[in-house]
Amino acid sequence: YEPPAESFVPVTPRAGVGFGCTEAPRGICWHRYEFEPDGAIRTARIVPPTSQNQPSIEADLLTVATSMVEESDDAIRDRCEQAIRNYDPCISCSAHFLDLKVTRR
């Protein structure tokens, strides 16, 4: 590898729309940007994998929590944290992060 002479390519700003996606271990991250004529960002929309996985995370949490109703609160919290980490380990950075209030009826 030889570094280029310039670390960037000069551009002339203009109005426009750009979009793209990047693949990450957690899923695909979508980006969309609208630019003003001077190159300033008018709007930006970023859809990270976490928001795409949210419905599945919530469904799994409901299944896990209801199947463990006879277990201790700590056991339920630990298993719910594990279920969340299955989708997105970055939420917790591998630390305890879930405040859980169990109400048994």
Residues 17-73 pLDDT 10s: 999 999 987 889 999 999 999 999 999 999 988 888 889 989 999 999 999 999 999
* Stretch 71-86: mean pLDDT: 90
What pLDDT score does 105 carry? 79
Q: How confident is the model at residue 15 (pLDDT cuts 50, 70, 90)?
A: very high
State the total domains in the chain: 2
Domain limits for position 74: 50-105
In a domain? residue 25: yes
What pLDDT score does 99 carry? 78
- C-alpha pair distances (Å), 3 with each of 7, 10, 11, 92: 8, 17, 20, 37
What pLDDT score does 64 carry? 94
The answer on 74 and 96 residing in a single domain is: yes
The answer on 43 and 55 residing in a single domain is: no
The answer on 57 and 42 residing in a single domain is: no
Residue in this structure with the two tokens 């970055």, named with its chain if needed: 90
Does pLDDT of 91 surpass 80?
no
What pLDDT score does 93 carry? 58
In a domain? residue 3: no
The answer on 91 and 41 residing in a single domain is: no
What pLDDT score does 52 carry? 87
What pLDDT score does 62 carry? 92
